[in-house]
A and B are shown apart, each in its own frame.
Chain A
Amino acid sequence: MTGFFLSQIQGLDPLTSDEVLVAQNVFFALIALVMILAALKMVTTENIVHAALYLVIVLAGAAGMFILLGAEFVAVTQILVYIGAIIVLFLFGIMLTKGSFGTEEGELRERNRMAVLVAVLIVAVTSGSFIDSFRDAELNRQAPSTTADIGDSIFGQFIIPFEAISVLLLAALIGSVVIARRDQ
């Protein structure tokens, strides 16, 4: 998308010009940096409301990544559903359980050190195997995938999981209402 704007302004072909590629990489670096910082702040902040807002930044960053990858429909869904609905749910949850508003105590140092170790290990192992397997594999520069293709796929090959999701959402809705409502 960023490449697309650039090509509109300067008359470049988004699929071949180097300027577009540079712009894409710059945007990637910027968004990735912001995402990682926000994610780190999110898991370490004492304040739950702040954490929810940091999560918004990560989610918006992910939407940016999807656009860079040419998955525009997923990006739009990410913004509508994740940022629009899920975050609002989180904020409601935080507001309704105001007892735990603000700080949370009881974080154990020992546990913390273990968790850092686990996290670093995961990054090392997964990144290592990614570098080992994909080395410098380039992403093909292609036009963004069309929503029609996605629709065809969902209503063709994946029609059964799609219908199952509708049952899932209904069940989750009914069950949540029962669980959350106040009994007389």
Chain B
Amino acid sequence: MLLNQFLILSAVLFSIGVYGVLTRRNGVMVLMSIELILNSVNINLVAFAAFREAIPGEVFALFVIAVAAAEVGVGLAMVLLLYRNRRNIDLAGIDSMKG
């Protein structure tokens, strides 16, 4: 297997994730797109770990997974809070501050 096949797969997932972040207006959807990016990062890390035979790459991927779990927990708490106060989580409506 070539290293590049994994890297290019991850590049494609990364760009799809960025596309999702830029176009979706729903907080939860943006968060899912960010998860896509984090997964592309992990594929990169693990592929490089195999290529360089360096364990830290896999360890890094594990840390990314753990942090992603914390991030999603915090994010959904916030989405819940906003939903309770506003009854929707459409980001287009979030513009009470301007300047």
Cβ–Cβ contact A69 & B6, under 8 A: yes
Which residues of chain A are within 8 angstroms of B18 by Cβ–Cβ distance?
115, 118-119, 122
Chain A residues closer than 8 Å to B25, beta-carbon distance: 104, 106-107
Asked if A93 and B42 sit within 8 Å, CB to CB, the answer is no
Q: Which of B58-92 contact A (CB under 8 A)?
A: 58-59, 61-63, 65-74, 76-81, 83-84, 87-90, 92
The prevalent SS among residues of B at the interface is helix
Asked whether, in the complex, the Cβ of B11 is within 8 Å of the Cβ of A43, the reply is: no
Tell me if A90 and B76 are in contact (CB < 8 A).
yes
Complex contact A42–B20 (CB within 8 A): yes
- What is the number of residues of chain B that contact chain A, defined by CB distance less than 8 Å? 70
Cβ–Cβ contact A142 & B24, under 8 A: no
**Would you call A1 an interface residue if the criterion is a C-beta within 8 Å of the partner chain's C-beta atoms?**
no
In Å, the complex CA distance between A167 and B84 comes to 28
Give Cα distance in the complex from A68 to B42, angstroms. Answer: 14
Which residues from B are CB-within-8-Å of A36? 9, 12-13, 16
Name which residue of chain B comes closest to A141, CB basis.
Answer: B1
Flag if B58 contacts A150 (CB, 8 Å). Answer: yes
**A interface, over-half SS:** helix
Interface bits A49-60 vs B (CB < 8 Å: 1, else 0): 001100100110
| Chain B residues, Cβ within 8 Å of A142 | 50, 53
Q: A30 an interface residue at 8 Å Cβ cutoff?
A: no
For B28, the chain A residues whose CB sits under 8 A away are 48, 90, 93-94, 97, 100
Contact surface of B with A, Cβ cutoff 8 Å: 1-9, 11-20, 22-26, 28-29, 31-33, 35-36, 39, 42-43, 46-47, 49-51, 53, 55-56, 58-59, 61-63, 65-74, 76-81, 83-84, 87-90, 92
15 contacts between A and B (CB under 8 A): A42-B32, A43-B19, A69-B50, A85-B69, A104-B24, A104-B26, A104-B29, A122-B14, A126-B7, A136-B2, A139-B50, A140-B51, A142-B50, A158-B56, A177-B77
Q: Besides the contacts A28-B1, A35-B9, A77-B62, what 7 more A-B pairs have beta carbons closer than 8 Å?
A: A24-B1, A42-B32, A52-B32, A107-B25, A123-B12, A137-B2, A176-B76
